[in-house]
Structure 1
Amino acid sequence: MAQPQKTRPAASLLARAVPFASTVRDYRPAWLKRDLVGALTITALLIPEGMAYAELAGLPPTAAFYAAPAGLVLYGLFGSSRQLVVAVSAAVAVLSAATVGALAQAGSPRFVVLTAALALMAGLISLLAGVLRLGRVAQFFSASVLTGFVFGLALVIAIKQVPKLFGLEAGEGNFFERLWFLATHLGGTHLVTLLVGAGSLLVLLGLERVSERLPAALVVLALAIGVTALLGLDGRGVHVVGKVQAGLAAPRLPDVGWKDLLGLLPGACGIALVAFAEAIGPARMLAARHGYEVNASRELVGLGAANMGAGLFQGFSIGCSLSKSAANDAAGARTQVSSILAAVLTLLVALFLTPLFRLLPEATLGAIVVVAVSGMMDVREMRRLYRLRRADFIGAAVALVGVLALDVLPGLLLAVGVSLFLTVYRASVPRLSELGRAPGTLAFSDVRHSPRPLTVPGMLLLRPNEGIFFANATSLRDEVIERLRRAPGRVQAVLLDLEVTADLDVPGADMLVSLHDELARRGVTLEFARIMAPTRRMLDSTGVTAKVGEAHLHAQVLDAVVGHLTHSSSVTSEEHELLHDGLRRLRGLVEEADSMLDEKETADRQRLQELGQRLRRAESELEGPGGAPH
């Protein structure tokens, strides 16, 4: 009996470190058929897209066979999603090419080595972020800004591939410069290449309309190779992939120096961020669909391990593929076994079938990429942002235009900067709700959400709807003073309801002291209600409690209101009704609590009885002769 208890913690630790261990432990033989179908689907999509994306990364098409299997296996072992496919990503491939292209000539041996080193660095950064549990960092990268960045990135990818469809050399520079170069060189279009490219596009789009489960890219790849061989198109000026070396690369560390690593660092950070932002959404969507949870930090570990494996095998940086993940899920895959089987199938293709790709037209690879990235151009989401919130749309538009005008890496930095700016700006804008009493109740809520709210004469009730910290402290203070200035009558007290203020830092506490002093100069008292425990500790330790006074700290908003009206010099009939009703209900609650206490709880009983006596005295003081307000 003792042995299982000893092994259970070890098994739990292994499952946390390697989520695939729990999959193996609970695996059912009936799932194997579905996982195998998912693996075949992944492989059918991966081979053509992987070869195309390897060219996006500036490498020979065979580099996909070095990067993808390592990514599939290592993410399958360490990632927390059971259906997500991490193999090749157009966005990550372009970021890789842009980073390494600034340091080495594309196609050179140095370019290949730096690309592998970049994948290793991006993987290490992601792995460390996961170990340090920094998965929540993704919350600071605005989804709206990411939509614009990915849209722009898709256009950049497309403009680099479109010249292949016309048999033209690609231009240099940003998106607009490349577009202008293409437009001014259309006269040099190679007709046969255009027919191959256009035909590949039409067949791809047609097959996708026929069935989403059909591996359209693989079918087009096979047809293009067959037609090229049959008609001898390579001899008619159609550029083909050429000789493809079979086999696999041995794992090794790239031979690079510290200067190279420093040059790659910004791009590695960008790749780690984009790969994670690209993966976490689909991972959570698939998990919700199948009733399990994904861990953001665990996803960082899985992506990091996948990229480190791709770099060790002389591949390129990789990321999640939404299309292959969706196809894997649609095929019925139940676990990460589908990704591991897909890695095995991809290795078999690399070892025995690569010579078949010698006659693959470059125009067909370009068409495959253009169709693949067209799904990244989310026009519907951009329209939705424009319709719902212009600020989100502007953030997305700035990121989109930034990628087009500045190129990929500067565009990424701009997108990150816009996200941080929006975060800081929103944090710095004070969000205050003015509270009023709902007619016929003792509940105090936002006056904007209550029909005919009843405000408390002589008292301004405000609720900060967030933490009070350095970024918003000053603007919050200014907003309180402005609300006080706009108040219709003379205000004797300002009450801050701190119900949702769980975060109060030292600058925020200092601001409250400053606010107290400013209000005191105006003859206004500052009071607090519903203070959370961490906030109360900060108020005590920074001297705010001593400054404001314990008498002005209240358990409930109603306590503060009753105390204010009890000592008010003029009480209207409406105020009298509120006071009388409030005191009566409070006394009823106290008496009810008193009756429920155990006889042994004498201290609590004594405190409640004293509170009840005070409430009764307040009621009698409130009423004059005949029960009228005095």
Structure 2
Amino acid sequence: MRLGFLADFLSRTVLTGFLTGVGVQVSLLEVSGLLGLHSTGNHPLTEILHDLRSIGETNPYAVAVSLAVLVIILGGRKISEKVPGGLIAVLAAIAASWALNLGAHLETLGAVPSGLPTLGLPQLDWSWPLIQKLTAPRPGLLRGHSRAERGDFARLRRQVRDRFDENVDMVGLGMANLGAGLSGTFIVNGSPTNTEMVASGGGRSQVSQLTTSVIVLLVLLFLTGPLAYLPTAVLSAIVFLVAVKMIDIQGMRRIFIEARAEFWVALLTAATVVVVGVEQGIVLAMVLSLLDHVRRGYRGSNTVIAADKRKKGWQMVPLNPPQQIAPGLLVYCFSHSLYYANCAQFSEEVLRLAKTRTPAPLDCLCVEAAAIGDVDFSAAAMLRSIFTQLREQGIRLVFTNVSPALHAQFERHGLTELLGANAIYGSVHAVIADHEEKVAAAATTAIEGGESDESDDGART
């Protein structure tokens, strides 16, 4: 359906907050595994409260294994980022568990089925209770995976300066799920923690995924037996470290320094992920990103172009006090597309500028339209009203730097015919030249009219 563009509405600020929230959430959920406690659910705050109440039941074997894994992984990073600390920790834990019979003291992975999955169409059951079960989680899956993982995967791709197409990525994910459906496996989706694992392991291309596929194939065929000895605390420790690495304190601090308002948006997103849930956090992230976009365009920082006598050129200056670029001519720069929410601002500022009397009464008001990419129905109605009010004051309304797309919209709304054929210019230079020519012509006409009046007076005398 080519809905990959939705990922563009996850701003970097919101994405930083979202991933930080995911890191906090996952790390809190893994504490019970580190301590060898029984997990009660997927809500991080509830889980951490349960862990505090059950702290007396902590399994010392699980704690020892967890600490050993953390030391191996962090120690390997100190030596070199290329040291596969996680892989070393898993192999060492399997060997130690087998040799020391740790399965008698803590929870292990247990028997893992070996061999390749059987391919074929699944048995279909069209009973209404099953259909309800299957359809109920669909919105959550769509919200919780497609957009977030697109944004996270896009972040990784940008880090390695790799070009990507979200639509192609989603097609690949869909094909993977088709394979999962034909082989009876779990739903295939992306994950911020999995992406971080790939990134921290040095994965920068499809080679990392192909290597993983080969390793999984070998494990399924020959190595599922040893996996039975793997303590689950090892997996908790590995995921815990990955989640902690996702908590971007430095990024949040940078946002706080550079954009205070955006920091609170990011913090709210992170808090929603932790307190409410990932799906709700993604929805909030999308909504906040869109609201931030609307906020920036709703009340834009507009300017006028004035003459810069020192540098013999032009400069952008604030609307107040208004400055004419030439006597009787004012050029107004609007910084956003015109639509129903900001057309009132446009109208207020233009009518206020129309009252300019310095250094001369305003004859022409030019709108510099390079930043105006779109005019909706409400904005078109506003422009017609503005044109009428300015004409009653003897002020021409003209436009410059109008793109072909905007010109087509002017045609569709009837604005081109209303403004007149000579009201759209290709540049500010052209507007100034035409205005000065009209002023000169008016002055010449006035002088000639004055001389004619003097001749008539002499003849009558």
TM-score normalised to structure 2 length: 0.83
Query: Which aligned pairs between 1:310-389 and structure 2 lie closer than 5 A?
Result: 310-313=180-183, 314-319=185-190, 321-325=195-199, 327-329=201-203, 336=206, 339-389=209-259
Q: Of the candidates 409, 423, 448, which is equivalent to residue 293 of structure 2? A: 423
Structure 1 residue 549: Cα displacement = 2.6
| Contact 2:324 2:358 (C-alpha < 8 Å) held by counterparts | no
Q: Give unpaired runs (5+ residues) of structure 2.
A: 449-461
Structure 1 residues 430 and 243: alpha-carbon distance in aligned structure 2, compared to 1, 3 A threshold: same
* Aligned counterparts of 1:488 and 1:385: Cα–Cα separation in 2: 43
Asked whether the equivalents of residues 434 and 462 of structure 1 are also in contact (C-alpha less than 8 Å), the reply is yes
CA distance in 1, matches of 2:346, 2:132: 46
1: CA distance between counterparts of 2:350 and 2:258? Answer: 29
Map 1:595-614; keep pairs closer than 5 Å.
none
Aligned to 1:249: 117
2: CA distance, partners of 1:544 / 1:486: 25
The residue that corresponds to 2:266 in the other structure is 396
Question: 1:277 is aligned with what amino acid?
Answer: G
- On the 8 A contact 1:146/1:415 being kept in 2, the answer is yes
Relative distance call for 1:253 and 1:494 in structure 2 (3 A) is farther
| Partner in structure 1 of residue 103 of structure 2 | 234
Residue 168 of structure 2: SS of its match in structure 1?
Answer: helix
Aligned-residue identity in percent? 25
Shift of 1:491: 4.1
Displacement, 1:347?
0.8
Counterpart of 1:273, as a letter, is: R
Once residues 250 and 77 of structure 2 are traced to their aligned partners in structure 1, the CA distance between those partners, rounded to angstroms, is: 20
**Is residue 2:337 matched to residue 1:467?**
yes
TM superposition shift of 1:394: 1.8
Higher helix share: 1
- AA matched with 1:436: A
Q: Secondary structure at the match of 2:214?
A: helix
Aligned to 1:286: 160
Give the superposition deviation at 1:469: 3.1
Letter in 2 for 1:247: G
* 2:46 maps to which of 161, 171, 177: 177
The aligned runs of 1:93-112 (5 Å cut-off) are none
Deviation of residue 371 (structure 1)?
0.8
- The reply to whether residue 432 of structure 1 matches residue 302 of structure 2 is yes
Name which of structure 1's ranges 389-398 and 247-256 shifts more when overlaid on structure 2.
247-256
Distance (Å, rounded) in 1 between the aligned partners of 2:96 and 2:352: 75
Deviation at 1:441, TM superposition (A): 6.8
Change beyond 3 A, Cα 1:512–1:388: same
Deviations 1:436-478 (A, max 9, x none): 1232677544226xxxx87444433112223223443334333
Contact 2:390 2:397 in 1 (8 A): yes
Secondary structure of 2:228's counterpart equals helix
List per-residue Cα deviations over 1:559-617 (Å, max 9, x = no partner).
3334445556xxxxxxxxxx8xxxxxxxxxxxxxxxxxxxxxxxxxxxxxxxxxxxxx7
Q: Which residue of 2 aligns with 1:262?
A: 135
> Distance between the aligned counterparts of 1:309 and 1:182, measured in 2?
39
Provide the residue aligned with 1:277 in structure 2.
Answer: 151
**In 1, are the aligned partners of 2:354 and 2:390 still within 8 Å (CA)?**
no
Greater mean deviation of Cα atoms: 460-469 or 215-224: 460-469
User: For residues 280 and 254 of structure 1, what CA distance do their matches in structure 2 show?
Assistant: 36
Which of 201, 218, 221 is equivalent to 2:87? 218
Residue 173 of structure 1, CA deviation: 6.7
User: Is 2:387 the counterpart of 1:516?
Assistant: yes
What's the Cα RMSD here?
3.3
Task: State the aligned residue count.
Answer: 435
Pair 1:476 & 2:349 matched: no
CA shift, 1:389, in A, is 1.0
The 5 Å alignment of 1:178-217 reads 178-217=47-86
CA distance in 2, matches of 1:137, 1:213: 35
* Partner Cα separation in structure 2 for residue 175 and residue 487 of structure 1: 65
1:301 aligns with 2:174: no
CA shift in 2, pair 1:410/1:297, >3 Å: closer
